[in-house]
C-alpha cells in the first residue's frame, strides 16, 4: 500500500477536482477546435493531448486517494507546484530528473 497524502484537506481536494474538471473541459474544447482548423499544428495538438491526459490521470489519482503524491518516488508534490499545475504527477526533483533524461 502506498501512503496516503495528508497534505490537503477534503475541501482542498474538492477544489483540485473542480480545477481539473474545468481544465479537462477547456482542453477538450481547445483540442476539438485545433483539430477543426486546416492550419492545425501537430505540435500544438500533441501538447493539448498530453495536457488532457495529465488532467485525466490527476482526476484518477484523486479518485484513488493518491493525488499529490509523486508517481516516481512516492513523496508529496510541493504545494506551490500543484497550485500552479494541478495535474502535476511528479515532484520537483523527479520532474527535473526526467527533463534531463529527455533533453
Ligand atoms: Zn518524486
For the stretch 44-55, pLDDT in tens is 999 999 999 999
Pick 4 or 56 by higher pLDDT.
56
Q: What is the CA(41)–ligand 1 centre distance, in A?
A: 32
Query: Which CATH number is associated with domain 10-102?
Result: 1.20.120.910
CA 41 to chain centroid: 22
Q: How sure is the predictor about 102, in pLDDT bands with cuts at 50, 70 and 90?
A: low
Q: What is the mean pLDDT of residues 9-14?
A: 90
- Return the domain boundaries, the chain: 10-102
Q: What is the mean pLDDT of residues 70-92?
A: 93
Q: What is the CA(40)–ligand 1 centre distance, in A?
A: 35
Tell me how far CA of residue 25 lies from CA of 20, 67, 80, in angstroms.
9, 19, 23
Pick 8 or 7 by higher pLDDT.
8
Residue-averaged pLDDT of the chain:
89
Q: What is the CA(91)–ligand 1 centre distance, in A?
A: 4
The dihedral of CA 25, 27, 30, 35: what is its sign?
Answer: negative
Q: What is the CA(30)–ligand 1 centre distance, in A?
A: 30
- The helices-and-strands tally (H runs, E runs) of the chain is 4, 0
The C-alpha torsion from 14 through 76 and 90 to 18, rounded to 10°, is 10
Tell me how far CA of residue 71 lies from CA of 23, 42, 103, in angstroms.
20, 28, 20
Q: What is the mean pLDDT of residues 30-43?
A: 88
Pick 37 or 17 by higher pLDDT.
17
Amino acid at each position: 500500500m502506498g501512503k496516503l497524502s495528508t497534505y490537503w484537506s477534503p475541501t482542498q481536494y474538492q477544489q483540485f477536482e473542480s480545477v481539473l474538471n474545468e481544465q479537462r473541459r477547456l482542453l477538450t474544447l481547445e483540442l476539438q477546435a485545433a483539430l477543426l482548423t486546416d492550419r492545425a499544428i501537430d505540435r500544438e495538438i500533441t501538447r493539448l493531448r498530453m495536457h488532457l491526459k495529465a488532467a485525466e490521470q490527476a482526476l484518477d489519482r484523486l479518485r484513488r486517494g493518491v493525488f499529490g503524491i509523486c508517481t516516481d518516488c512516492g513523496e508529496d508534490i510541493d504545494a506551490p507546484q500543484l497550485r500552479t499545475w494541478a495535474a502535476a504527477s511528479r515532484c520537483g526533483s523527479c520532474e527535473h530528473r526526467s527533463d534531463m533524461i529527455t533533453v
